Chain A
Amino acid sequence: MCRFARDEHGAFEVLLARYREPIFGFLYRYLGRSDKAEDVFQDVFFEVIRARRSYRAGFKFSAWIFRIARNRAVDRLRRDGFREMVSLQQPLDPQQEEGEGLDGVSSSPYPNPEETALGRELREALEETLERLPAEQREVLWLKEYSGLKIPQVAKLLGVPENTVKSRLRYALGKIREELSRRGYEV
């Protein structure tokens, strides 16, 4: 990031390559829709570009960009009023499964040959379970999974105590386990 702050375009390409999938994944999970995730994703990186000279060298870049992403996602949710409960139960629509969706968001293009019907059912059950988690647990879970930040950094980003982050993670994972067990999956 320090190199990008000195206007090295190549450094920005490295940053984008590193963070595009985690940031997009986080936004997609947070917002629940790929078109919204796409809008906010662009806003996040435009903000990084705009604020590059104000970036403090000692600050962890992943914490900075995920803070921007989280704040932008919160703003977007507030603006939209509510989260539209779509798409997560069907995480990738058929067009996306084939490559490129109408909104320009492509799914992972590589079909998994080992995916069985059971695997698909399990995935759907997992997505449904995730969707039912309380928002604050979901938020912590996605931040932890996608950002690679440590628990104290997540706590700082969210402005909550570390123990709160830990307990939210613990409850979230526990609920997923319970729900999948209840549905007959061995977890």
Chain B
Amino acid sequence: MNCREVQDHLVDHLYGELDQDLAQRLQAHLESCPSCMEELEALLKVKGLLLSRKDPVPSSLLTQRILAHAGEEISRPKGLWGLGWLRAAVPVCFLLVVGGWILLYQGWHRPGQEESGPGSSRGVAPQAGEPALMPDHEAPPQSLTREEKTQALPAPPPLPDSAAKPSLKDKAMAALPSPPPQETSRLPAPQPRPQVGPHSQPPGGAEGQQQEMAVGKESRRQKVQGMGAGAPVASPPPEPSGDKEGLPSELSMGEKLIGEKDFTRAEEIFSRLINTLPPGHASMPRVLLGLAQAREGLGELGEASALYQRLAGDWPEYRELALEKLRVLEQLRRSKMTQPPGP
């Protein structure tokens, strides 16, 4: 590799994005070329300066507002394409089927239909004996001529006709009004919406309540309530009392989960705390430490390192512990790098 090639790959090397083979060749060149090495060191210093800057962080008020919004959006029904749409579609489908059936039925039995031919709704009137587009048990009345039907009228109505038509209507009538009683029966007992933050809004109006009656919605909403911002972790419940220093009980729970190696839930708890605690809160170093340990446990070494670095930089009493952790992570990272790539 010559100097020009090194210059082409210097940025990749700076950000650790060179593959192993190229990195080795570049390293070999750097060891024998002082000017390229000097260039790389200067760029590394600049990069270090950029990393050392302190940026403002969003306020906990802003993050709480966003969390509250997320809670509201999650607890809101899915809208047009969700279950509410299905609920609206069911009675409409019933209406269409029943209405269509009635129209067809009346069209076939309209006086003079058979004679009119092209004037009939089907264009060609069914001939006597022609199989009608009906179930077998409904065929006889349609195949009757008008005279036969008028003769049949005074007599007790044919069984299929009298049995089929009212039963469908009954079905329709039974189906159509059924949703409202369900709605009203459920409406008086709405679950209280979780208090997700200082900006949380009161429970939604009729629209929200109606849509919450969708199948399975209730259980989902209960789950959301359990996991909502400001609410404790759903399972297991947090310790009822805070710890001795008056710290949030969730902090103790998170630390307990770290001890139990349940890093996923621990990360959730510490994430919630870091989002909601004010930056200068006395518990912040413990939260940072817990979050770093959770991410370390989840194998996210880069993010864990960043948190340990922050801990070491900002909290002198935690510096030693954080630096020790950083050393361990660095060793881990090196051992991973030296491992041969998997198949």
Contact A46 B54 (CB under 8 A): no
Residues in chain A near residue B12, CB distance under 8 A? 151, 166
- Indicate if A85 sits at the interface (CB-CB under 8 A): no
Contact B224 A9 (CB under 8 A): yes
Contact B272 A105 (CB under 8 A): no
Also in contact, A14 and B61, with CB within 8 A (given A8-B227, A151-B11): no
Contact B66 A42 (CB under 8 A): yes
Instruction: State the Cβ distance, B234 to closest chain A Cβ, in Å.
Output: 8
- Indicate if B303 sits at the interface (CB-CB under 8 A): yes
Instruction: State the Cβ distance, A126 to closest chain B Cβ, in Å.
Output: 6
Contact B268 A34 (CB under 8 A): no
Residue from B43, B59, B229, B302 within 8 A of A105 (CB atoms) = B59
Contact A108 B70 (CB under 8 A): no
Also in contact, A12 and B61, with CB within 8 A (given A17-B291, A108-B55): no
Closest to B49 in A: A126
Which B287-325 residues have C-beta < 8 A from chain A? 291, 302-303, 313-316
Contact B43 A177 (CB under 8 A): yes
Closest to A15 in B: B271
Number of A-B pairs, beta carbon distance below 8 Å: 166
Which B82-102 residues have C-beta < 8 A from chain A? none
Instruction: State the Cβ distance, A91 to closest chain B Cβ, in Å.
Output: 7
- Indicate if B57 sits at the interface (CB-CB under 8 A): yes
Residues in chain A near residue B261, CB distance under 8 A? none
Tally of contact residues, B, Cβ under 8 A: 57
Residue from A14, A91, A100 within 8 A of B267 (CB atoms) = A14
Closest to A150 in B: B17
Residues in chain A near residue B51, CB distance under 8 A? 145
Residues in chain A near residue B314, CB distance under 8 A? 108, 110
Contact A46 B62 (CB under 8 A): no
Residue from B8, B53, B67, B233 within 8 A of A126 (CB atoms) = B53
Report, as a range, how many residues of chain A touch the other chain: 35 or more
Residues in chain B near residue A18, CB distance under 8 A? 271, 303
Residues in chain B near residue A56, CB distance under 8 A? none
- Indicate if B333 sits at the interface (CB-CB under 8 A): no
Contact B59 A106 (CB under 8 A): yes
Instruction: State the Cβ distance, B295 to closest chain A Cβ, in Å.
Output: 9
Which A30-67 residues have C-beta < 8 A from chain B? 34, 37-38, 41-42, 45-46, 49-50
- Indicate if A89 sits at the interface (CB-CB under 8 A): no
Residue from B54, B66, B274 within 8 A of A108 (CB atoms) = B54
Contact B62 A41 (CB under 8 A): yes
Residues in chain A near residue B302, CB distance under 8 A? 148
A11 to B264, CA, bound (A): 10
Instruction: State the Cβ distance, A78 to closest chain B Cβ, in Å.
Output: 23
Contact A107 B62 (CB under 8 A): no
Residues in chain B near residue A106, CB distance under 8 A? 56-60, 278-279
Residues in chain B near residue A113, CB distance under 8 A? 316
Contact B220 A105 (CB under 8 A): no
Residues in chain B near residue A108, CB distance under 8 A? 54-57, 279, 314
Instruction: State the Cβ distance, B320 to closest chain A Cβ, in Å.
Output: 16
Residues in chain A near residue B303, CB distance under 8 A? 18
- Indicate if A16 sits at the interface (CB-CB under 8 A): yes
Which A61-115 residues have C-beta < 8 A from chain B? 91-92, 96, 99-101, 104-110, 112-113
Also in contact, A104 and B50, with CB within 8 A (given A12-B67, A13-B271, A46-B66): no
Instruction: State the Cβ distance, A9 to closest chain B Cβ, in Å.
Output: 4
Contact B62 A38 (CB under 8 A): yes
- For the complex of A and B, list the 10 residue pairs with the smallest distance between their C-beta atoms, beginning with the closest: A17-B271, A110-B314, A25-B55, A109-B280, A10-B268, A109-B279, A14-B271, A104-B59, A9-B227, A13-B272
Interface residues of A (CB under 8 A from B): 7-14, 16-18, 20-21, 24-25, 28-29, 34, 37-38, 41-42, 45-46, 49-50, 91-92, 96, 99-101, 104-110, 112-113, 122-123, 126-127, 141, 144-145, 148, 150-151, 166, 169-170, 173-174, 176-177, 180, 187
Q: A49-B70, A126-B50 are in contact. List 11 more A-B contacts (CB 8 A).
A: A9-B71, A9-B227, A13-B275, A16-B66, A17-B274, A37-B56, A113-B316, A122-B49, A151-B11, A174-B43, A177-B46
6 contacts between A and B (CB under 8 A): A18-B271, A37-B56, A45-B70, A96-B56, A108-B279, A173-B47
